[in-house]
Amino acid sequence: MRYFSTNGRSAVVGFREALLQGQPEDGGLYFPNEIPNLAELAVRPWREGGEAETAFSLMRPYVGGEIPDADLEAICGDAIDFPFPLAEITPGIFALELFRGPTLAFKDVGARFMSRCLGHFSGSIGKRTVVIVATSGDTGGAVAHGFAGVEGVSVVILFPKGRVSRVQELQLTRSDKNVITLEVHGSFDDCQRLAKTALSDRELRNKYFLTSANSINIARWLPQQTYYFAARRQFPDAKSVFSVPSGNFGNIAAGLIAKRAGLGARSFIAACNANNVVPKYLETGQYIPEPSKRTLSNAMDVGDPSNLARIRQLFNDDLDLIRENMATASISDEETVATIRKVHAEFGYTMDPHTAVGFASLEKLAKSGPSEIGVVLATAHPVKFDSVSDILSNNIDVPDAVARLGDRERRSIEIGNSYSEMIDAIKKSL
């Protein structure tokens, strides 16, 4: 498998180089030059514990033999050692619970797979590896956990100060010594801008080996197809509508490439909050980035989603084709609150705000037939969001793994949103 830049001005590379570089020099995103046919995987009989086997079958063609099969199988088994259960909310509508991993968020899948792939190649790099990641909440925690204590690797995490939940902040600031956490006085878009600038900094690149761990990186992004196939295999005779809470659009881009590979899903919904630049783009044909707006579903507060470039590439920038394959909805905070309350009161299911946006979007847009099911991606555990307890006037049980974080030393550095401040903090800490 070879990978090219969506901007079309960088060299075509293999899996190893795309993983290690993170982002092409021309500022685009890596994209596979072919989509494998995985239709057989979508209908293969499901068995308990089949998540790792699904990941191996899925990623094998994308890795293209650059990791031996035995090693790749071990990587998948180690990275994805938790289930993706489907919880029925109402007849025909299911929550795909992607928060069963160690940091209680769907980002665990890609972050753990990427860290182990990077570890596989680390001996051949020749200098210290620095992973730089911007996060709106969950990515950073998953990356910090996935790379904790990895020899020869340092991690730099940037998150917007005051714009993540209490549990997310605990996960971001109670990390191992090889993780540098920067609290940025600004938005997620500021964090993403700083991370992208650092990744192309020639001085840094001369001293360290730089890569990313956002969904920018193919080893973070492509494994996310795993849970779509895992869900699909459990309903082989039904057409599925996937409603995907969408911020930086990596998750739904993975779903759409899975559909092209033979997933068998009927349609996808990009479920957005008030940050609705993509719904506006599909409506008007004009893509106009906007400053991000703060919402209850904070991990989706993105005003210029990077992975839209991959969706546009997948469909050859044909707006009509994008519209055929991806519907969009924009859900307000008021609608999010009402959905959390309704689903909890009527069905006894507790949702985080992002999942609630997905459920509300599915209710708004899906047209179910007798052989169709709706699948809402439950992207995070509700305990990660203080607002859920306030909305329901009910305490949510805190998993032990989260409760223990409060006993650890807080480690973080506050900076403004200028590149010079970030670079100074990184140089002092590495």
Judging by beta carbons within 10 Å of its beta carbon (0-12, 13-18, 19+), is residue 423 exposed, middle or buried?
middle
Comparing 116-120, 235-239, 390-394, which segment has the lowest mean pLDDT? 235-239
| Per-chain mean pLDDT for the chain | 91
Q: Where are the alpha helices (DSSP H) in 248-399?
A: 250-261, 277-284, 308-314, 319-325, 333-347, 353-365, 386-392
Residue 208 in domain: no
Band of residue 368 on the pLDDT scale cut at 50, 70, 90: low
Residue 136 clears pLDDT 80, i.e. is over it: no
Q: What is the pLDDT of residue 385?
A: 87
Residue 280 clears pLDDT 90, i.e. is over it: yes
Q: How large is the average pLDDT for residues 107-116?
A: 92
Query: Rounded to two decimals, what is the model's pTM?
Result: 0.89
Q: What is the pLDDT of residue 4?
A: 97
pLDDT digits (tens, 9 = 90+) for 308-330: 999 999 999 999 999 999 999 99
Catalytic positions = 107
Residue 296 clears pLDDT 90, i.e. is over it: yes
In DSSP terms, 13 is beta-bridged to 3
d(CA 103, CA 345) in angstroms, rounded, equals: 27
Residue 430 clears pLDDT 90, i.e. is over it: no
Q: What is the pLDDT of residue 262?
A: 95
Residue 124 in domain: no
Percent of the chain with pLDDT over 70: 99
Band of residue 371 on the pLDDT scale cut at 50, 70, 90: low
The count of domains in the chain is: 1
Band of residue 125 on the pLDDT scale cut at 50, 70, 90: confident
CATH classification at residue 246: 3.40.50.1100
Residue 97 in domain: yes
Residue 345 in domain: yes
Residue 311 in domain: yes
Residue 174 clears pLDDT 90, i.e. is over it: no
Residue 47 clears pLDDT 90, i.e. is over it: no
Beta strands in 65-213 (DSSP E): 86-90, 93-97, 129-134, 153-160, 179-184, 209-212
Band of residue 417 on the pLDDT scale cut at 50, 70, 90: very high
Residue 332 clears pLDDT 80, i.e. is over it: yes
Q: What is the pLDDT of residue 13?
A: 97
What is the extent of the structural domain holding 280?
81-105+220-392
Residue 376 in domain: yes
CB 128 within 8 A of CB 190: no
Residue 430 in domain: no
More confident residue, 335 or 410: 335
d(CA 61, CA 1) in angstroms, rounded, equals: 7
Q: What is the pLDDT of residue 370?
A: 58
Q: What is the pLDDT of residue 375?
A: 96
Residue 338 in domain: yes
Q: What is the CB neighbour count within 10 angstroms for residue 349?
A: 18
